[in-house]
Amino acid sequence: FIQLREKNLDTDSFLKEAAEIKELCARYHVPFVINDNVEIAKEINADGVHVGQEDMAAGNARAILGSDKIIGVSAHTVEEAVLAEKNGADYLGVGAAFQTGTKKDAGNISHETIKQICKAVNIPVIAIGGITHDNVMELAGSGICGIAVVSAIFAAEDITKATRELKELTLKMKDSTCISKDNASS
């Protein structure tokens, strides 16, 4: 799953970059979503969009993109998570799980809050923020279904090796309480 997050590009450059990444992701059958920008997600026919609390409600994004698109929502509290699910979110990005340099305005949320969010919703919860090879195992038992990373991979000397190792650790960390749409009723 790839999410393109560009905060400082002009629209034409963003569109060009998004179209190139979409093509690459399609070649490898990797879902591709755009962060925050529903208009660009619609224009390039991305697989979906991820919106923050200050961006757009999940229901509004769904109305613009259609029922077949992925809608992700950032959540920091149980209340935000429950509302996002009620409004049609397909998954939640929850964090920051740890201190992060990638998103300067992200405050950490406790691992207890992450657990509470996982218990409160029936959609996948993805932890984000400051997750590394060294701390990913601290998320074991939280109920999350996966992690989102930037620096843990792109700041590594060997990106392929870092990705492989982080994936292996994440699979070990992932706990059986992970909720997905397929087993939400079980």
At 7 the pLDDT is 86
At 26 the pLDDT is 97
CA dihedral 146, 66, 55, 18 (to 10 degrees): 70
Residue type, 120: A
At 184 the pLDDT is 43
Distance CA 156, CA 132 (A): 10
DSSP, residue by residue, 30-78:
--EEEES-HHHHHHTT-SEEEE-TTT--HHHHHHHH-TTSEEEEEESSH
- Look at residues 73, 146, 78 and name the one whose alpha carbon lies nearest to residue 115: 78
Q: 27 an active-site residue?
A: no
Catalytic pick from 5, 16, 161, 181?
Answer: 5
Q: 74 an active-site residue?
A: yes
Give the pLDDT means over successive 10-residue stretches in the chain (186 positions).
92 96 97 96 98 93 97 97 97 92 69 96 96 94 94 95 94 65 40
At 80 the pLDDT is 97
Catalytic pick from 22, 62, 74, 174?
Answer: 74
At 103 the pLDDT is 54
At 185 the pLDDT is 37
At 151 the pLDDT is 92
Q: 115 an active-site residue?
A: no
